[in-house]
């Protein structure tokens, strides 16, 4: 009877030693990524809870603050981010089919759309800075403004800022994953890194799907212009 080391088939270099198969490895990675994303849900959930509580306590301030946000730019950015989710989903699909160069191309498209989003976002931040609606740094709202308007804008900057920070992290990760994809580092059996990046990016999209109506759309009707 020969020893195990002699009869064991050659192990693919892409399969970590603790896993029996690539399938098991992929499932473990997806599950781990979801555990991380649930933690992210709790992180943003805390911010959404602050939003919920303060909006319940000061509804007029939130309506007024929301009425100052540019709905057209917000809608545009929502569409841009959804587009980036599509290109990321297509990149993951290319990875599944071992089309590394196409995957890299779609990641590059995702990065371009992410940069468009951040560009529009910085234009919006610039307007708020110009209008002196940045709590703590440059805050001089009109005298008739609701005394709790700062709560809305503080939440606006923290929530969109944390979201933008997540996008920046995603952009950095995309550089590495795109490089690996371009060099053929992902096969149809092993594309764990690409799949996890996809999950992360779609989560960033998810957060924005809720931020957009809660921040931009409150004041479109009602007493404020």
CB 81 within 8 A of CB 205: yes
Interface with another protein includes 199 (CB under 8 A)? yes
Kindly calculate the radius of gyration of the chain based on its CA atoms and give it in whole angstroms.
22
Q: Give 27 or 132: the residue with its C-beta nearer to another protein.
A: 27
Candidate residues 5, 7, 56, 142; the one interacting with another protein per rule CB under 8 A: 56
Q: Which stretch binds another protein (CB under 8 A): 109-117, 134-142, 152-160, 200-208?
A: 200-208
CB atoms near residue 157 (< 10 Å): 18
- Indicate the residue among 138 and 220 with the shorter CB distance to another protein: 220
User: Would you give the distance in Å from CA 72 to the centre of its chain?
Assistant: 20
Q: Which is nearer to another protein, 89 or 112 (CB)?
A: 89
Q: How far is the CB of 54 from another protein (least distance, A)?
A: 10
Of 31 and 132, which CB lies nearer to another protein in the complex structure? 31
DSSP string across 94-150: HHHTT-HHHHHHHHHHHHHHHHHHHHHHHHHHHHHHHTTEETTTEE---TTS-TTHH
H/E run at residue 196? helix 192-216
Residues 69-108 that bind another protein (CB under 8 A): 71, 75, 78-79, 82-83, 85-86, 88-90, 93, 96-97
Q: Is 213 in the site for another protein (CB under 8 A)?
A: yes
Query: Judged by CB under 8 A, does residue 57 bind another protein?
Result: yes
For 223, what's the count of Cα atoms within 13 Å in the CB-facing half-sphere? 7
- Phi/psi at 112 (5° precision): -60, -45
Nearer to another protein by C-beta: 52 or 168? 52
Contact in structure between 210 and 74 (CB atoms under 8 Å): no
Residues that bind another protein (CB under 8 A): 21-23, 26-27, 30-31, 34-35, 37-38, 41-42, 45, 48-49, 52-53, 56-58, 71, 75, 78-79, 82-83, 85-86, 88-90, 93, 96-97, 188-189, 198-199, 202-203, 205-206, 209-210, 212-214, 217-218, 220-222
């Amino acid at each position: 009877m020969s020893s195990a080391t002699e009869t064991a088939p050659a192990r693919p270099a892409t399969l970590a030693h603790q896993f029996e198969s690539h399938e098991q490895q992929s499932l473990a990675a997806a599950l781990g990524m979801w555990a991380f994303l649930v933690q992210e849900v709790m992180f943003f959930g805390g911010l959404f809870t602050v939003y919920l509580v303060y909006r319940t306590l000061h509804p007029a301030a939130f309506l007024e603050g929301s009425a100052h946000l540019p709905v057209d730019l917000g809608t545009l950015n929502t569409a841009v981010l959804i587009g980036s989710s599509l290109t990321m989903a297509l990149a993951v699909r290319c990875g599944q089919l071992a089309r590394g160069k196409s995957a890299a191309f779609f990641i590059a498209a995702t990065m371009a759309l992410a940069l468009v989003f951040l560009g529009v976002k910085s234009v919006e931040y610039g307007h708020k800075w110009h209008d002196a609606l940045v709590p703590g740094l440059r805050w001089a709202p009109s005298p008739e403004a609701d005394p709790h308007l700062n709560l809305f804008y503080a939440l606006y900057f923290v929530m969109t800022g944390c979201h933008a920070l997540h996008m920046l992290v995603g952009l950095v990760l995309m550089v590495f994953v795109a490089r690996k994809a371009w060099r053929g580092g992902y096969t149809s059996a092993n594309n764990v890194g690409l799949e996890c990046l996809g999950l992360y990016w779609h989560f960033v999209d998810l957060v924005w799907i809720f931020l957009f109506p809660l921040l931009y759309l409150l004041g479109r009707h009602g007493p404020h212009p």
